[in-house]
Amino acid sequence: MNEFLSEEIPFNDIPHDKFLAIQICKGYRPKISKDVPKLLADLIIKCWDAEIENRPTTKELYQMLTKWNDEIKNVEDSEIYSQVKECDEIRRKNFGSKSNKDKSINIQTHPQAVYTSRLLNFKDLPKPVNSSDLSSFQVNLDAEHAIQSTLANSLSAQLSELELKEFWQK
């Protein structure tokens, strides 16, 4: 849902390797841009929960999205309607007359970012947890690229020395 709404490929600028797997287990998630309505951003975060039983079921997702879709069409004073209008204004302010196609043309994917099914048999990954900083999920569109680049460069620096030793020994 986040990829569809943001039109950005997750983790496109960093290698898809054990470092990334460890970071994801530790709560690292793709950014959710400011032009995604808060109700949808909250739902995305719920779907990313490290505990499977905390994630919404397909039926719950269907019911929620159907309800919001009906509200957006029929009730202009609904929460989802006002959030979508606010996000549309953010998009207009940030992108102006540029189309979303212009936005996606400039994306360069890291050579070790692989988006095909494959077996990743990493042993001894940490137990998955949620991010301790949920405010980091939403960032300003203007700062997003700089933040992602900084994160990519410091990704290995965030791993403990012990984790790095374990990684290179395997």
> Where are the chain's structural domains?
1-95+119-134, 139-169
Task: Tell me the sheet residues that pair with 139.
Answer: 33
- Model-level pTM? 0.66
Of 87, 84, 88, 62, the C-alpha closest to 75 is 84
Could you read off the pLDDT of 69-93 as tens digits, one per residue? 888 887 778 888 888 888 888 888 8
Please report the pLDDT score of residue 114 as a whole number: 82
The DSSP letter of residue 14 is S
The pLDDT of 21-34, averaged and rounded, is 92
- Least confident among 17-31, 59-73, 82-96, 156-170: 156-170
